[in-house]
């Protein structure tokens, strides 16, 4: 016998948002077996607990916007620190942000019930057609399910790819502020969910998001349904070529920027989070620097790892390979200074099988037109290049900032794209199964928050490595990897979440993916050596 989880546990209170039951995610509106013995509650601070809160805020904002003005088209574009960035097309946020907030708070005070319905696909499409949700209809058209979950609040209907809260009254902490050309939904603080998170000031990051928005507009692919339609109709080829051309054009522009500073720049620093594609970016940038007459040589921070037994430990007593102290930064800094002075250095080689530095070294000396490219997660940390003048450095931040969303109010988290990239790469090149990669991911995320994200605004330029079509390609590789997880394993819940996410995409064979594409770093077939 099954009942809704909310009916089994009774009334829930903030900051609880959803649960894990038998290693499967369950929203409070989901039906579960009544004899369930163990329930692990998730809250608003992390992971799917936080995403459930975000989705419910997006749902409420869309509901209120529709009631305020049926002609408003509200969309949630992307995360921005601990906020969600959205827009109401053609409207000035200074005029609507306060009204939106006031009306959302009003519905929260009413503690209105949110309902979840499981209906045949055609019935769901009919309801969404009444709402004018063309993007959802196009998405569901290609979804291979007979029954579709749909959420409703006072005769407002919307599809969501994950659970929502059961009542609006659970949305205790949020704010709406203008952030031209759109607005920010400010989320709860991760450490103290009783207060609002701090609004970020990352102008370069925001500019990169806006630039990517223009790319999507040119491509005419705003949502997953648009992408699926191109794949289904056999019209994906040109869009794929244009997207790859955007990357090539941007890399060429960055090479030109470095060339203009050729008299002073001796070191190009490339940083970014895990699976952002910085390695392939560095290799492609090297080609473009050769085109403009410069001679780049690559210096990998991986060769400066300390011997395995010297790796710092994290709070759980486990090796912390994400830590800045896991690198012999003093030696690297010394070598950089010597290279800039025109001296020869002996570059170490790290053996990942033994966990120790090899006895062999590689001699390196910079000639007149030589530039050193350093690629690694810590490349923008100022401690790495301490003592080297800023005029001698050109700093680049690479990240996979998702341009595509599921629909107007179902966003695709940037980290999900990178996690799927890493799942595929780890299985193919590192012998790690999905369980291992999923286990490691929280530690990777903590390392990013501490060692990478704080320095991204130091970059001279940012590069968005995400490709609109990549998840359709990665789907083919990732699904078999995720399906082998056993339901008895803790990581099964995350595997199911990712499989549900990937189910929205039609698969795309990699036949037309160029050998220099960033996607090739993860699926194989690259013409670069790694």
Sequence-distant (≥ 6) Cβ neighbours of residue 70 within 8 angstroms = none
- Residue 94's pLDDT is 95
Give dist(CA 343, CA 362) in Å, integer. Answer: 14
Q: Which residues pair with 74 in a beta bridge?
A: 88
- Residue 317's pLDDT is 87
- Mean pLDDT throughout 187-198? 97
Distance of CA 434 to the CA centre of its chain: 18
- Residue 216's pLDDT is 85
Asked if residues 137 and 129 have their Cβ atoms less than 8 Å apart, the reply is yes
H-only helix segments in 381-469: 414-425, 434-447
Burial class (CB in 10 A: 0-12, 13-18, 19+), 333: middle
Q: Is the predicted pLDDT of residue 286 greater than 90, yes or no?
A: yes
Q: Indicate the angle between helix axes 224-232 and 134-141, nearest 10 degrees.
A: 50
Give dist(CA 510, CA 231) in Å, integer. Answer: 12
Sequence-distant (≥ 6) Cβ neighbours of residue 128 within 8 angstroms = 136, 137, 140, 150, 157, 158, 159
**Domain coordinates in residue numbering, the chain:** 2-117+153-186, 215-523
Torsion of CA 187, 192, 196, 197, to 10 degrees: -70
Assigned token pair, 392: 């001698």
More confident residue, 360 or 177: 177
Assign 110 a pLDDT band (cuts: 50, 70, 90): very high
E strand or H helix that includes residue 268: strand 267-271
Asked if residues 13 and 482 have their Cβ atoms less than 8 Å apart, the reply is no
Q: Is the predicted pLDDT of residue 405 greater than 90, yes or no?
A: yes
- Mean pLDDT throughout 191-216? 92
- Mean pLDDT throughout 61-78? 96
Assigned token pair, 267: 């070191």
Helix (H, G, I), strand (E, B) or coil at 76: strand
Q: Is the predicted pLDDT of residue 145 greater than 90, yes or no?
A: no
- Residue 318's pLDDT is 87
Give dist(CA 379, CA 273) in Å, integer. Answer: 11
- Residue 133's pLDDT is 85
Q: Is the predicted pLDDT of residue 256 greater than 90, yes or no?
A: yes
Give dist(CA 141, CA 143) in Å, integer. Answer: 6
- Residue 514's pLDDT is 97
- Mean pLDDT throughout 185-193? 97
- Mean pLDDT throughout 220-245? 95
Q: Is the predicted pLDDT of residue 124 greater than 90, yes or no?
A: yes
Asked if residues 456 and 207 have their Cβ atoms less than 8 Å apart, the reply is no
- Residue 459's pLDDT is 97
Helix (H, G, I), strand (E, B) or coil at 436: helix
- Residue 353's pLDDT is 81
Pairing of strands 115-120, 267-271: unpaired
Q: What percent of the chain has pLDDT over 90?
A: 86
Asked if residues 141 and 225 have their Cβ atoms less than 8 Å apart, the reply is yes
The pTM of the whole model exceeds 0.85: yes
H-only helix segments in 312-413: 329-340
Burial class (CB in 10 A: 0-12, 13-18, 19+), 16: middle
- Residue 300's pLDDT is 85
- Mean pLDDT throughout 405-410? 94
E strand or H helix that includes residue 20: strand 16-21
Q: Is the predicted pLDDT of residue 391 greater than 90, yes or no?
A: yes
Distance of CA 343 to the CA centre of its chain: 41
- Mean pLDDT throughout 314-343? 91
Q: What percent of the chain has pLDDT over 70?
A: 100
CA angle 284, 414, 150 (to 5 degrees): 140
* CATH architecture for segment(s) 215-523: 3-Layer(aba) Sandwich (3.40)
- Please give the class, per CATH, of domain 2-117+153-186: alpha beta
Instruction: Report which DSSP code applies to 95.
Output: H
Give dist(CA 122, CA 347) in Å, integer. Answer: 63
H-only helix segments in 92-159: 93-110, 121-131, 134-141
- Mean pLDDT throughout 114-136? 91
Q: Is the predicted pLDDT of residue 458 greater than 90, yes or no?
A: yes
- Phi-psi category of 173—alpha, beta or left, where left has phi over 0 and alpha has psi -120 to 50? beta
- Residue 11's pLDDT is 87
- Least trusted range by pLDDT, from 91-100, 118-127, 322-331, 350-359: 350-359
**pLDDT tens track for 475-530:** 999 999 999 999 999 999 999 999 999 999 999 999 999 999 999 999 999 999 98
Burial class (CB in 10 A: 0-12, 13-18, 19+), 337: middle
Q: Is the predicted pLDDT of residue 56 greater than 90, yes or no?
A: yes
Burial class (CB in 10 A: 0-12, 13-18, 19+), 316: exposed
Q: Indicate the average pLDDT of the chain.
A: 94
E strand or H helix that includes residue 236: helix 236-260
Burial class (CB in 10 A: 0-12, 13-18, 19+), 489: middle
């Amino acid at each position: 016998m099954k009942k809704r989880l909310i009916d089994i546990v009774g009334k829930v209170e903030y900051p609880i948002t959803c649960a894990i039951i038998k290693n499967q995610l369950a929203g409070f509106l989901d039906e579960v077996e009544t004899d369930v013995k163990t329930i692990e509650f998730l809250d608003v601070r992390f992971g799917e607990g936080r995403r459930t809160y975000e989705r419910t805020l997006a749902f409420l904002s869309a509901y209120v916007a529709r009631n305020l003005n049926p002609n408003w088209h509200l969309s949630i574009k992307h995360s921005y620190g601990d906020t969600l960035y959205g827009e109401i097309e053609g409207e000035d946020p200074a005029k609507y942000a306060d009204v939106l907030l006031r009306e959302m708070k009003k519905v929260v005070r009413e503690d209105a019930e949110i309902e979840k319905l499981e209906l045949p696909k055609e019935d769901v499409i009919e309801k969404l057609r009444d709402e004018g949700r063309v993007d959802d209809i196009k998405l569901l058209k290609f979804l291979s399910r007979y029954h579709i979950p749909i959420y409703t609040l006072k005769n407002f209907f919307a599809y969501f790819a994950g659970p929502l809260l059961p009542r609006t009254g659970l949305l205790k902490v949020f704010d709406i502020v203008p952030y031209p050309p759109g607005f920010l939904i400010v989320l709860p603080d991760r450490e103290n969910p009783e207060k609002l998170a701090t609004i970020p000031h990352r102008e370069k990051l925001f500019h990169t998001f806006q630039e990517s928005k223009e790319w999507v507009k040119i491509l005419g692919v705003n949502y997953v349904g648009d992408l699926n339609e191109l794949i289904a109709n056999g019209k994906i080829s040109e869009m794929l070529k244009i997207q790859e051309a955007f990357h090539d054009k941007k890399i060429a522009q960055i090479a030109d920027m470095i060339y203009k500073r050729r008299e002073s720049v001796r070191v190009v620093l490339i940083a970014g989070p895990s699976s952002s594609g910085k390695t392939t970016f560095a290799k492609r940038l090297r080609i473009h620097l050769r085109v403009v007459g410069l001679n780049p040589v690559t210096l990998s921070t991986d060769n400066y790892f300390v011997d395995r037994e010297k790796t710092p430990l994290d709070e759980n007593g486990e090796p912390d390979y994400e830590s800045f102290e896991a690198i012999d930064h003093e030696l690297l800094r010394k070598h950089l200074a010597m290279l800039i002075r025109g001296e020869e250095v002996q570059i170490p080689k790290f053996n990942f099988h033994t966990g120790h530095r090899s006895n062999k070294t590689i001699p390196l000396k910079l000639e007149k037109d030589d530039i050193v490219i350093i690629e690694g997660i810590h490349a923008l940390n100022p401690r790495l290049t301490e003592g080297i003048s800023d005029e001698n450095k050109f700093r680049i931040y690479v990240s996979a900032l998702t341009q595509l969303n599921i629909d107007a109010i179902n966003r695709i988290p940037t980290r999900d794209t990178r996690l799927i990239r890493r799942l595929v790469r780890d299985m193919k090149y590192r012998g790690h199964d999905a369980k291992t990669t999923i286990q490691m991911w929280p530690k990777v995320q903590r390392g990013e928050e501490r060692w990478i994200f704080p320095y991204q605004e130091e970059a001279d330029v940012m590069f968005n490595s995400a490709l609109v079509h990549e998840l359709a390609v990665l789907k083919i590789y990732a699904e078999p990897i995720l399906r082998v997880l056993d339901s008895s394993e803790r990581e099964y819940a995350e595997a199911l979440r990712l499989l549900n996410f990937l189910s929205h995409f039609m698969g795309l064979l990699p036949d037309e993916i160029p050998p220099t594409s960033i996607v090739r770093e993860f699926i194989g077939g690259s013409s670069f050596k790694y």
